[in-house]
Structure 1
Amino acid sequence: MTESIIDKSPVFAVRAQITVKASVDEVYAVVSDLPRSREWSPECTGGEWISGEPATVGAVFRGENLRADDVVGWAPLVRGVWYTQARITAAEPGRTFRWAMLTHVGENQQSVWGFDIEPAAEGSVLTHHFRMDRPTEGIYKIVADMDEEQRRRFFREWSEKLEQDVARTLESLKAVIES
């Protein structure tokens, strides 16, 4: 019997980078300000810090998100407005900022978003990345009633969406930071 795509690891791994004409500290100040994410994210429309010192390791952010009906439109995804919670797992000013998505009971999932920043001749190189080692609760729900062919299609199309989102986020962040 062949292994299901749901059993592979990582489930998703996306990474892209862009040069920004700003110092690493200026870039970090923006990317670590998650309530401002509506300015650059294709899906997150903002949110608020709900526990801990904002933008520090252990702080929890409640994000508000909006997903259009046509995003992988055939799959049973949450549409319209929906909410997530994430815990900051790395916060090194001028270097890295990362957060893990939380389960419904507040535990870290193996679903981590982040930014890494390095100095460059023209300012900074900003890398945006996402990695999901094991499927989240949400992914399991989405693919629960799919056969293996549908699951493969979903993972392929969702990977393409993630790659586009990461690239769009970087372009938008560049515009925000350089303006």
Structure 2
Amino acid sequence: METPLTHAESIVIARSPQDLYDMVSDVTRMGEWSPVCTACWWDDGDGPRVGAWFTGRNETPERGAWETRSQVVAAARGEEFAFTVGGTWTRWGYTFTAVPGGTEVTESWQMLPDGLTRFENRFGADAQTQLADRFEAARTGIPHTLAALKRAAESG
């Protein structure tokens, strides 16, 4: 069976699209709501603009701790913030749509072609199992992240 290479979920948060964009695009806060990412920092003192790079520290019981570098690929305040891990491997995105009662925030994950090639080269026969693990992490992690973002946004 082929592993899905994309996943997205949405939640409505009682804040403006601009407020939520400001929270999500401040990658130094990502560790507050992600179940995997424990910390992020801008490389070279940069900020949320297309082309900027940041480093993230991640940790799971199964894989231990590791760091990745990501590049911002979308930075439209109040509309979309997205980045690609490794520059071309995996795309994480957030879109913000005004709705009655606040903003619909959609978080998405997509394994990109370079990421597939990387997994095949790195894991060989185990690539599909590794991809399934990453999909499952996105499937369970996205609702966790969105719920934590909602709690933080609506309490402050």
TM-score, scaled to structure 2: 0.88
Shift, 1:143, TM fit: 2.7
Work out which of the two has the higher radius of gyration on C-alpha atoms and give 1 or 2. Answer: 1
Amino acid at match of 1:116: T
Consecutive aligned runs of 4 or more in structure 1 exceeding 4 Å deviation? 151-154
Alignment of 1:1-179 (within 5 A): 12-51=5-44, 53-69=46-62, 79-102=63-86, 108-134=87-113, 136=115, 139-140=119-120, 143-146=123-126, 151-179=127-155
Q: Please list the CA deviations of residues 91-144 of structure 1 after superposition, one character each: whole Å capped at 9, or x if unmatched.
A: 000000000111xxxxx2141101000001111000000111325265235532
Measured in 2, the distance between the counterparts of 1:56 and 1:133 equals 21
Aligned-pair identity (%): 27
- Judged with a 3 Å threshold, the aligned counterparts in structure 2 of structure 1 residues 40 and 143 are, in CA distance, closer, same or farther, namely same
Q: Distance in 1 between matches of 2:66 and 2:118?
A: 12
Aligned length, in residue pairs: 154
Q: CA 1:175/1:37 → structure 2, altered by over 3 Å: closer, same or farther?
A: same
Aligned partner letter, 2:136: E
Q: Which has the higher helix share?
A: 2
Q: What are structure 1's unaligned runs of at least 5 residues?
A: 70-78, 103-107
- One-letter amino acid of the counterpart of residue 170, structure 1: L
Contact 2:57–2:65 at 8 Å: present in 1 too?
A: yes
Deviations, residues 32-70 of structure 1 (Å, cap 9, x unaligned): 01111111001111121013630111110011111112x
CA contact (8 A) 2:119 2:131 kept: no
Larger mean Cα displacement after TM superposition, 128-137 or 161-170: 128-137
Contact 1:14/1:162 (<8 A) preserved: yes
TM-score of the superposition, structure 1-length normalised?
A: 0.77
**Change in CA separation of 1:68 and 1:135 when aligned onto 2, cut-off 3 Å:** farther
